[in-house]
Amino acid sequence: MSNQTDSLTAQFTDQPFHVMTKPIGPICNLDCTYCYYLHKEDLYPKGNKWKMADDCLASYIRQYIDTQPPGTAEVTFAWQGGEPTLLGLEFFERCVEIQKQHARPGMKIANTLQTNGILLDDDWCRFFLKNGFLVGLSIDGPAELHDAYRVDHQGQGSHAAVIAAIRKLKKFGVDFNALVVVNRLNGDYGARVYRYLRDAGCQYLQFIPIVEPSGIGRHAEGQVKASDHFTPFAAADTAVSSRSVLPEQFGTFLCDAFDEWIRRDVGRVFVQIFDQALSAWVGVEPSLCVFRRTCGRALAMEHNGDVYSCDHYVEPDHLLGNLNVVPLEELVNSGRQQEFGDAKLKTLPQYCLDCEVRHACNGECPKNRFLQTPDGADGLNFLCAGYRKFFNHVDPAMQQMAAFINKRQPAALIMEQHSDRPASAAPRSGPTPRRNDPCPCGSGRKYKSCCRKS
Ligand code: SF4
Ligand code: SF4
């Protein structure tokens, strides 16, 4: 065993872990054509009851809290689907009740819930506000971009309902993130999508690229050879769906959105990949699994307690076990799971190891590594050309922001060099951030461990 592997072994169980929980499995009231999760229905028998049973829920909450290291001040539960709101408010009221029973003295329990927004009404918003839920809302941009793929079971677009949900969340003061799936259609409109969501009042944005390998998913359809498109690397046997964003397209999308952000929104709009990049430039390893050297601490759990290595590997080969049979702690810290996480680094091709932006990219997610490098090695990320373009594009600005932060100045000063308006008109501050928000100085660290401390 190499020294490098030894050091990974020593670190693995010390790292915090996270479980994406699917209390209703893949069941959803929408039928988005690019959804990677709908076909997971096939993993469970026909007639299966898609609702986490109360004893399983109670066991999960207790074990998840108990497995956190001593001294943990805050534990975050993440609820996803499918569409978790289909379970009704009562289910989540019960979650909160059980969490209160098991929280250690002084421990804060946080909840995040990812939703398509269709069912959100005043009662849901009151509940979210009262219990401090952070809501993730899926929206792909203006109606003509969003409604192309985010449709209901009759093929009707869902944009109007999502906008209504945003209005309600804002009216009640509920914290929310907008999650944008970047695809072949909206992928041409980085600046437009960014501006649209910013102007709709979304302060926190995530851009998630859709990469569907050939024939995967409920709506698998006419496939396109990756080698037919912009990647310069050999990909003869590799195909992605016609919905998948293309590498150069994704890079341009991110660059265009970044150029909008850097002119006027640093410190008041938070874009996950920009924060992650800044973190890398100030010398702190990004927190998001896809940009870390190794992974394996972001697991997924199905409605019956089955625990999988990752949300993107909910498949029989990556089933670690069931928490009603094997303690969650054993599953999370198992040798098998560690191997899964370490493989992210061990399988990184030399081409990535030599890359000038590896510190920010780290080869991204293994699920997307199905190209060959120019020298014929396996394991290059399908989106490589896009990430390389983006990280090189932002390098000068990131260096400047990192320099500001190192001098304990706000990263937002960067706007004075990029704004097309007088510096005095550029926003220098936004709403007071919460303790766990990204720091408005743009350091990529949490507010509580950055400027709030100073
Ligand atoms: S496989 Fe990808 S999404 Fe899953 S934990 Fe690793 S980096 Fe994250
Ligand atoms: S940009 Fe490309 S070469 Fe560089 S680390 Fe990322 S995937 Fe590897």
pLDDT digits 0-9 by tens, 197-211 = 999 999 999 999 999
Q: What is the pLDDT of residue 224?
A: 38
Q: What is the pLDDT of residue 411?
A: 94
Q: Which atom of ligand 1 is nearest to the CA of 310?
A: 4
Q: Which atom of ligand 2 is nearest to the CA of 384?
A: 2
Q: What is the pLDDT of residue 417?
A: 84
Residues of the chain falling short of pLDDT 50: 1-6, 9-10, 217-238, 421-431, 453-454
What pTM does this model have?
0.86
Q: Within 6 Å (CB) of ligand 1, which residues are found? A: 289-290, 295, 298, 310, 312, 344, 365-367
Q: What is the pLDDT of residue 226?
A: 37
Q: What is the pLDDT of residue 239?
A: 64
Residue 290 CB less than 6 A away from ligand 2: no
Q: Which atom of ligand 1 is nearest to the CA of 311?
A: 4
Nearest CA owner, ligand 2 atom 3: 352
User: Catalytic site residues?
Assistant: 311
Q: What is the pLDDT of residue 423?
A: 39
Q: Which residues contact 120 (CB under 8 A, 6 or more apart)?
A: 85, 135, 165, 168, 169
Q: What is the pLDDT of residue 377?
A: 96
CA of 340 from ligand 1 middle (Å) equals 9
Residue to substitute in 36, 276, 344 for testing ligand 1 pocket (most ligand atoms within 8 angstroms of CB)? 344
Q: What is the pLDDT of residue 44?
A: 86
pLDDT in tens, 27-53: 888 888 888 777 778 888 777 788 999
CA of 89 from ligand 1 middle (Å) equals 30
Q: What is the pLDDT of residue 31?
A: 87
Q: What is the pLDDT of residue 16?
A: 84
CA of 233 from ligand 2 middle (Å) equals 12
Nearest CA owner, ligand 1 atom 2: 365
